[in-house]
Amino acid sequence: MGMVATEEPLFRQMSHRRPSDAFQKGYFDFCPRETWSPSVNLYETALAYVVCVDLAGVDKDKIDVVLVDHQRLQLRGQREVPVPQHAGDSSAPRLKVHVMEIDHGAFCRDVELPRDVDKDRVVATHANGLLWIELPKKDP
């Protein structure tokens, strides 16, 4: 499959959250209690836009995909702190953490939708730690 990078601003207000952004958020972009923002890839075919969200370690039942004001796709959820399987065992030695780089806690990510998305046919699937959201285009 061939891929081409584009500069077209179809997904104009793609907000990627960082802790330093908290002071610059407007009311429109505010997601309360978020602690991290998952990485997103955006693709386009002749028939649809496809959003791929990296949600490794997130239980699919803890992911909400909501259409806000028919203009934005909002992804919200929760990822628990990853710990070794034996860490919860009372016979295991105390767990010391030396480095913790994997984001955890509540997350929120907004994707502003292009005008030609058929919002009634959006489909989301979760596989291998990736959330795939297909946004079919309206019929011409």
The pLDDT tens digits for 106-132 are 999 999 999 999 999 999 999 999 999
pLDDT bracket for residue 138 (50, 70, 90): very high
Q: How far is CA 6 from the centre of its chain?
A: 21
Q: Model pTM?
A: 0.74
Alpha carbons 130 and 52: distance in angstroms, whole number = 7
How far apart are the two ends of the chain, measured CA to CA in Å? 25
pLDDT bracket for residue 31 (50, 70, 90): low
Helix (H) or strand (E) holding 135: strand 130-136
Residue partners of 52: CB distance under 8 A and separation at least 6: 40, 41, 42, 43, 130, 131, 132, 133
Rg (C-alpha) for the chain, rounded Å, is 18
What's the mean pLDDT when you consider all of the chain? Answer: 81
Q: Look at residue 18 and tell me whether its pLDDT is greater than 70.
A: no
